[in-house]
């Protein structure tokens, strides 16, 4: 009875889900309006196409197959989102996840195609490359006080061109794309353990999908149940207090970015070692996976478990967007919708904090008055 | 005089969801009087002033100016009625001159061009009339806090405000400046200005106020004529029970040296000079040594150097015989140092963590709270927190699970004190441990500090409050511009004398000082 009746609005989980759903609804609504402006006649149909994604296929096996494809791309997105989320917990905005992802892609493909290594070694190389990139950002931040956003963005580009150079030795003769793993070194493909059978033999569905979910759960445990998570979160919430109680903030900071880099690098391995995509060695923009991870993180309420669902959702509408008639709609329409969602997220986060703060303060005051 | 009262707030009731912040409060400010508003934190002083300023609208009650009922819907209305306020934290533009700050917002212009000459004349006239000495061309960042405050007062006078509100004006001033301010307030009142003086410092109220309205927990308690009242009476009205204004403490003989500081120099974070210059002193068992001084004379950096938050430039720190000059914060903490930090929000607490997690901030890594695998032992942490909450009477909405941000300042401070004292430290660094707290909490904290001393621990207290310095310390070291300029015995020192040292007007030669705490002349 001490705490009295608890309003549903005070339930953290409920608030987080509510705010995420509100964002999604509002984001879709604005997206819908934009679609209507571009093409008043087909707008409704277009938004339905985006939402249906693989379900536009009438046959169940085909739908399952393309659900598989969405999941294949969800796994790397989830890893990037987790990378950003993990660093955010420590008060760091790891926009460099995109570059760490690129580094991971380069290392994984180089290992697979140039060195002919098996998948597990390639995966470890991808993680190491991502970690190295994270580590550079961490060192610069800890010892030279360089903002992680600045050094992260610069490393994104450094990474992109380094990887382009590195992989130009293993590209197809006639195209800028890297040669396929399937034809060169099948041992570098991630094992599927029979998962493809569940998705109408979509051979790109590998252990990456369940593994990414497992990692999200492990990360949740790491952050919430361990001493390391306690320190990381404390540093993120108040780094002065962390210093005051003797946490080694510099060490934690670098370690956080190393882990963040590892996660992003692993994400790249999850995509490129599934054979689903080839690297384009003439790429002149950093893959969007790392940036979409930012969106997924915030939509997921900065919670690893929530991020699983938000990553899926963002990938779902991104994949759905690709079914639109490119002659009528620009391909960025799904990016637009997720961007709107993220914008709204920050507002809802604000309202959520506000409501919670008011509720808590009111409760405390009532109690004190009663106590007198 | 047609009407006796300049401002009347009659039967004001202001409710917030779940709480009545002002419950039927009446405040009547006579013309030309200094009226103190006394109350603990959370008593409703700020709410009442916000109602007067139009920031909040009262649900019940009326406000009268010169006997006529007025509606104050926003701060502009308040300004138009001649109500001005000096905020606790000054609202001045640092890189502007005094004159620019005074005329800011009410500049006289001609064809869009500033006309400062007239303004300057008016400012100087006001300055002379009330004895508010300022240099109109000095920049705010270059002048003393006292002069900044005088600038704020001139701002109100320049706007022809009749009703002047001073919100905790003495918190930042030296004793001499406080005396000066009191004189200024008396001058202003003599010239017919009406002054509302918000404070929880009884002594100042007794010095300067004519009448005093006391609030407690949102309720009006009484309005008394100050000359006919005593400090004890006022404080028990404010707190609702008798409080000890002077801490009880018995004499103790200091034991072995616990903390020994030799020629310590600490760099400043703000400028290129050293903030602490070649300081040496000792703190012994069973004594409270107090570092007195005006804010910004190196006390903060001294503590940073001692606690390891900042590296020291040179010198040596020894804790119970162990050299910790280069030790990390954690090593110092493990060696028996506890630290009640100056800024409890910046350093002392992680506001968005639960109370339980904050209680173990200094010992979460101990086997008691972490398993071999690196997992937190949540159950042990919560039961430990429950024990401390009980023992130190920390009040919060949901016990150990309460988010610390939602707790009151006094209870947050109690939580820090519980955490730091439960470490059973050999040396306790306490930096302004009573800042911003009400009388009841201050009394509690003083008794805890004295208990530490009585148990044989060494306490180094940094305080800006003279009363605190004089009432609970065993030895006073005065810091001025990064140096220790005097060592004083609180029993033999008068407030004024201490003030002279703090202001840098007086200093002892190194020979006179005997910073080791032994018998005078008994140097080893």
Cβ contact B336:B319 at 8 Å: yes
Contact B457, B380 (CB under 8 A): no
Rg (C-alpha) for chain B, rounded Å, is: 25
Residue length, chain B?
524
**CA A47-A53-A54 angle, 5° bins:** 155
B410: in domain: no
Domain ranges of chain A: 9-371
Q: Poorest-confidence range of A176-190, B264-278, B370-384, B440-454?
A: B264-278
Q: Look at residue B1 and tell me whether its pLDDT is greater than 70.
A: no
pLDDT in tens, B20-76: 788 999 999 999 999 999 887 667 888 898 899 888 888 899 999 988 999 998 888
Q: Does A351 touch chain B (CB under 8 A)?
A: no
Asked if residue B382 is part of any domain, the answer here is: no
Please give the average per-residue pLDDT across B186-190, as a whole number. 91
Judge whether residue B219 has pLDDT over 60.
Answer: yes
Residue of A nearest to B331 (CA): A246
The 3-class SS string of B52-114 reads HCCCCCCCEEEEEECCEEECCCCHHHHHHCCEEEECCCCCCCCCCEHHHHHHCCCCCEECCEE
Asked if A212 and A315 count as a contact pair (C-beta separation under 8 A), the reply is no
- Whether B522 shows a pLDDT value over 50: the answer reads no
Tell me whether residue B377 is in a domain: no
Task: Give me the pLDDT at residue B200, please.
Answer: 74
* B323 in the same domain as B208: no
Residue in B339, B346, B364 closest to A230 by CB: B364
For residue B122, give its domain range. 5-239
Q: What is the mean pLDDT of residues B189-196?
A: 92
User: In the predicted model, what is the mean pLDDT of residues A264-288?
Assistant: 92
Taking the CA of residue A57 and the nearest CA in chain B, the distance in Å comes to 47
B20 and B98 in a single domain? The answer is: yes
Let me know if residue B350 belongs to a domain.
no
Dist. CA B46–CA B86, nearest whole Å? 13
- Note whether B210 and B267 are same-domain residues: no
A-chain residues within 8 Å CB-CB of B349?
238, 241
Single out the residue in B239, B269, B295 at which a domain terminates: B239
Q: What does the pLDDT read at residue A348? A: 62
A226 touching B, CB under 8 A? yes
**Angle A184-A188-A191 from CA coordinates, rounded to 5°:** 130
Evaluate whether residue B520 is within a structural domain.
yes
Q: How far is B406 from chain A (nearest CA, A)?
A: 5
- The CATH number for B493's domain is 3.40.50.300
Does one domain contain both B214 and B255?
A: no
Let me know whether B47 and B181 are in one domain. Answer: yes
Three-state DSSP state, B287: strand
The topology (CATH level 3) of A9-371 is ABC transporter involved in vitamin B12 uptake, BtuC (1.10.3470)
As a whole number of angstroms, the distance between CA A26 and CA A230 comes to 35
Within-domain flag for B9 = yes
Look at residues B271, B125, B357 and name the one whose alpha carbon lies nearest to residue A229. B357
Q: Measured between beta carbons, which residues in chain A are less than 8 angstroms from residue B370?
A: 227
Task: Check CB contact of A1 with chain B, cutoff 8 Å.
Answer: no
A264 phi-psi bin (left φ>0, alpha ψ -120 to 50, beta other): alpha
Best probe of the B interface among A15, A239, A241, A248, by most B CBs < 10 A, is A241
* Contact in structure between A16 and A306 (CB atoms under 8 Å): yes
Residue B490 — φ and ψ, nearest 5°?
-60, -30
Count Cβ neighbours within 10 Å for each residue of B401-421 and write b for 16 or more, e otherwise.
ebbbbbbbbbbbbbbbbbbbb
B407·A372 Cβ contact <8 A? no
Instruction: Give yes or no for residue A205 having a pLDDT over 60.
Output: yes
**A4 touching B, CB under 8 A?**
no
Look at A263 and A336; give whichever has higher pLDDT: A263
pLDDT at A140: 95
- Residue-wise pLDDT for A306-316, tens only, equals 899 999 988 88
Q: A3 touching B, CB under 8 A?
A: yes
> Closest partner residue to A241 among B347, B365, B397, by Cβ?
B347
B310 domain-assigned: yes
Name chain A contacts of B398, Cβ cutoff 8 Å. 2-3
Is it the case that residue A1 has pLDDT exceeding 60?
no
> What is the structure's pLDDT at A161?
95
- The pLDDT of residue B329 is above 90: yes
pLDDT of residue A2: 38
Sort out which chain B residues have CB atoms less than 8 A from A302's CB and list them: none
**E strand or H helix at B1:** none
Residues whose CB is less than 8 angstroms from the CB of residue B482 and which lie 6 or more positions away in sequence, other chains included = B273, B274, B275, B276, B277, B279, B297, B298, B301
Q: Do B406 and A361 touch (CB under 8 A)?
A: yes
Question: Does B222 share its domain with B256?
Answer: no
Question: Does the pLDDT value for residue B269 go beyond 90?
Answer: no
pLDDT number for residue A359: 65
In this model, does residue B407 exceed pLDDT 70?
yes
CA-atom Rg of chain A in angstroms: 22
Range of A260-269, A303-312, A343-352 with top mean pLDDT: A260-269
Closest residue in B to A234 (Cα–Cα) = B350
| Residue bearing the bigger pLDDT, B454 or A365 | B454
Chain B contacts of A246, Cβ < 8 Å?
308, 328-333, 362
Q: What is residue B354's predicted lDDT score, i.e. its pLDDT?
A: 93
Tens digit of pLDDT for each residue in A84-113? 999 999 989 999 999 999 999 999 999 999
The partner residue sitting opposite B329, judged by closest CB among A243, A360, A372, is A243
Residues 6+ apart with CB under 8 A from B199: B36, B37, B38, B168, B169, B170, B205
- Is the confidence at residue B154, as pLDDT, over 80? yes
- Give me the interface pTM, i.e. the ipTM: 0.78
The stretch B271-300 carries a mean pLDDT of: 88
> What's the pLDDT at A357?
65
| pLDDT attached to residue B521 | 38
Using pLDDT thresholds of 50, 70 and 90, give the confidence band for residue A363.
Answer: low
Q: pLDDT grade, residue B524 (50/70/90)?
A: very low
Tokens 């000459």 found at: B117
**pLDDT over threshold 90, residue B287:** yes
Which of B199-203, B274-278, B336-340, B470-474 has the highest mean predicted lDDT (pLDDT)?
Answer: B336-340
Query: Which DSSP string corresponds to B364-432?
Result: TTSTTTB-TTSBB-HHHHHHHHHHHHHHHT---TTGGGSBGGGS-HHHHHHHHHHHHHTT--SEEEEES
Is the pLDDT at B283 greater than 80? The verdict is: yes
Residues B213 and B258 in one domain: no
A115-164: pLDDT as tens digits: 999 999 999 999 999 999 999 999 999 999 899 999 999 999 999 999 99
Q: A–B: how many Cβ contacts below 8 A? A: 109
Q: What six digits make up the tokens of A73?
A: 């791309």
Which one is predicted more confidently, A300 or B258?
A: B258
Please indicate, yes or no, whether residues B251 and B169 belong to a single structural domain of this protein.
no
The number of angstroms, rounded, from the C-alpha of B89 to the middle of its chain's C-alpha atoms is 12
Tens-place pLDDT, residues A37-46: 888 888 888 8
Mean of pLDDT values over B436-446:
80
Q: Which of B361, B368, B373 to mutate to test the interface with A (most CBs of A within 10 A)?
A: B361
More confident residue, A24 or A93: A93
Does B385 reside within a domain?
Answer: no
B219 and B112 in a common domain: yes
Closest approach of A14 to chain B, Cα-based (Å): 18
- Which residues of chain B are within 8 Å of residue A222 when distances are taken between CB atoms? none
**B442 or A92, which is more confident?**
A92
Residues B256 and B231 reside in one and the same domain: no
Instruction: Name chain B contacts of A242, Cβ cutoff 8 Å.
Output: 350
- State the pTM of this model: 0.74
Return the SS3 of B195: strand
Q: Which residue of A has its CA nearest to B403?
A: A360
- Is it the case that residue B195 has pLDDT exceeding 90? yes
* B304 and B173 belong to one structural domain: no
Q: Identify the domain boundary among B188, B210, B239.
A: B239
Instruction: Report how many domains make up chain B.
Output: 2
pLDDT above 50: residue A291: yes
* Cβ separation A366–B399 shorter than 8 A: no
Whether residues B171 and B307 share a domain: the answer is no
Q: Tens of pLDDT along A170-184?
A: 888 888 999 998 888
B97-145 pLDDT, tens digit each: 999 999 988 888 888 888 888 889 999 999 988 888 888 998 888 887 7
Backbone angles phi, psi at B456, to 5 degrees: 95, 10
Q: How many whole angstroms separate alpha carbon A310 and alpha carbon A321?
A: 16
B-chain residues near A360 (CB < 8 A)? 397, 403, 405-406
Please name the member of B341, B346, B365 whose beta carbon is closest to the beta carbon of A227: B365
pLDDT at A70 over 70: yes
């Amino acid at each position: 009875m001490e705490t009295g009746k608890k309003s549903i609005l005070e339930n953290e989980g409920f608030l987080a889900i509510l705010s995420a759903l509100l964002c999604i609804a509002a984001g879709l609504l604005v997206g819908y309006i934009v679609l209507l402006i571009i093409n008043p006649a087909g707008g409704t149909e277009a938004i339905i196409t985006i939402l249906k994604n693989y379900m536009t296929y009438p046959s169940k096996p085909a739908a399952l197959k393309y659900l598989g494809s969405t999941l294949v791309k969800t796994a790397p997105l989830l890893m990037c989102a987790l990378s950003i989320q993990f660093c955010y917990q420590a008060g760091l905005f790891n926009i460099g996840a995109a570059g760490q992802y690129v580094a991971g892609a380069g290392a994984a493909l180089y290992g697979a195609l140039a060195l002919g290594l098996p998948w597990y070694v390639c995966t470890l190389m991808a993680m190491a490359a991502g970690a190295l990139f994270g580590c550079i950002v961490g060192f610069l931040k800890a010892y030279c006080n360089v903002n992680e956003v600045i050094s992260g963005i610069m490393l994104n580009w450094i990474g992109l061109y380094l990887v382009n150079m590195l992989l130009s030795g293993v590209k197809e003769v006639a195209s800028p794309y890297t040669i396929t793993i399937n034809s060169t070194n099948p041992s570098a493909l991630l094992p599927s353990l029979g998962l493809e059978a569940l998705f109408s033999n979509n051979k790109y569905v590998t252990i990456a999908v369940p593994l990414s979910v497992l990692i999200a759960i492990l990360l949740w445990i790491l952050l919430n149940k361990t001493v390391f998570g306690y320190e990381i979160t404390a540093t993120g919430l108040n780094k002065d207090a962390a210093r005051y109680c003797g946490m080694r903030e510099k060490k934690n900071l670098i370690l956080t970015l190393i882990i963040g880099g590892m996660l992003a690098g692993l994400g790249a391995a999850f995509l490129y070692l599934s054979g689903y995509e080839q690297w384009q060695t003439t790429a002149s923009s950093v893959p969007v996976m790392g940036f979409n991870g930012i969106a997924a993180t915030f939509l997921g309420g900065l919670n690893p478990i929530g991020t699983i669902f938000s990553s899926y959702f963002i990938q779902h509408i991104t994949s759905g967007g690709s079914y639109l008639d490119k002659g009528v709609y620009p391909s960025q329409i799904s990016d637009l919708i997720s961007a709107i969602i993220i914008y709204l997220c920050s507002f809802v986060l604000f309202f959520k904090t506000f409501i919670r703060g008011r509720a808590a303060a009111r409760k405390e005051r009532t109690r004190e008055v009663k106590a007198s | 005089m047609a009407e006796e009262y300049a401002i009347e707030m009659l039967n004001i009731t202001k409710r917030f969801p779940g709480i009545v912040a002002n419950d039927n409060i009446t405040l009547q400010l006579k013309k030309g009087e200094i009226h103190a508003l006394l109350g603990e934190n959370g008593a409703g002083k700020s709410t009442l002033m916000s109602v007067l300023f139009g920031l909040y609208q009262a649900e019940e009650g009326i406000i009268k100016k010169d006997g006529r009922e007025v509606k104050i819907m926003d701060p502009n209305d308040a300004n138009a009625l001649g109500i001005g306020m000096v905020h606790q934290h000054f609202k001045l533009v640092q890189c502007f001159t005094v004159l620019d700050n005074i005329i800011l917002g009410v500049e006289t212009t001609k064809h869009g061009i500033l006309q400062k000459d007239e303004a300057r004349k008016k400012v100087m006239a006001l300055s002379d009339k009330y004895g508010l000495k300022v240099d109109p061309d000095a920049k705010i960042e270059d002048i003393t806090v006292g002069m900044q405050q005088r600038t704020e007062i001139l701002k109100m006078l320049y706007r022809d405000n009749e009703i002047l509100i001073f919100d905790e004006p003495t918190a930042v001033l030296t004793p001499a400046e406080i005396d000066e301010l009191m004189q200024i307030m008396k001058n202003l009142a003599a010239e017919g200005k009406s002054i509302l003086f918000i404070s929880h410092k009884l002594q100042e109220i007794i010095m300067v106020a004519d009448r005093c309205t006391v609030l407690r927990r949102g309720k009006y308690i009484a309005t008394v004529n100050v000359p006919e009242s005593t400090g004890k009476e006022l404080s028990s009205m404010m707190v609702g029970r008798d409080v000890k204004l002077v801490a009880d403490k018995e004499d103790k003989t200091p034991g072995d040296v616990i903390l020994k500081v030799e020629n310590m120099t600490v760099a400043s974070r703000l400028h290129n000079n050293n903030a602490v210059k070649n300081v040496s002193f000792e703190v012994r068992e069973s004594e409270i040594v107090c570092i007195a001084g005006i804010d910004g004379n190196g006390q903060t950096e001294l503590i940073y150097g001692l606690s390891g938050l900042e590296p020291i430039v040179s010198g040596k720190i020894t804790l119970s015989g162990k050299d910790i000059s280069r030790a990390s914060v954690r090593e110092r903490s493990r060696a028996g140092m506890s630290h009640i930090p100056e800024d409890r929000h910046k350093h002392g607490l992680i506001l968005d963590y639960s109370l339980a997690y904050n209680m173990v901030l200094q010992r979460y890594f101990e086997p008691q709270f972490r398993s071999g695998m690196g997992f937190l032992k949540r159950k042990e942490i919560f039961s430990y927190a429950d024990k401390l909450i009980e023992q130190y009477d920390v009040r919060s909405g949901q016990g150990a699970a309460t988010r610390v941000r939602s707790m009151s300042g006094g209870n947050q401070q109690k939580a820090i004190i519980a955490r730091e004292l439960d470490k059973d430290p050999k040396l306790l660094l306490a930096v302004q441990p009573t800042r911003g707290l009400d009388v009841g909490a201050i009394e509690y904290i003083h008794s805890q500090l004295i208990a530490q001393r009585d148990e044989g621990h060494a306490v180094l207290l940094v305080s800006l409050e003279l009363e605190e310095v004089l009432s609970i310390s065993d030895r006073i070291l005065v810091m001025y511009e990064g140096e220790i300029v005097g060592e004083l015995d609180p029993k033999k020192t008068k407030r004024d004398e201490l003030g002279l040292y703090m202001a840098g007007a007086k200093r002892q030669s190194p020979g006179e000082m005997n910073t080791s705490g032994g018998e005078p002349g008994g140097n080893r």
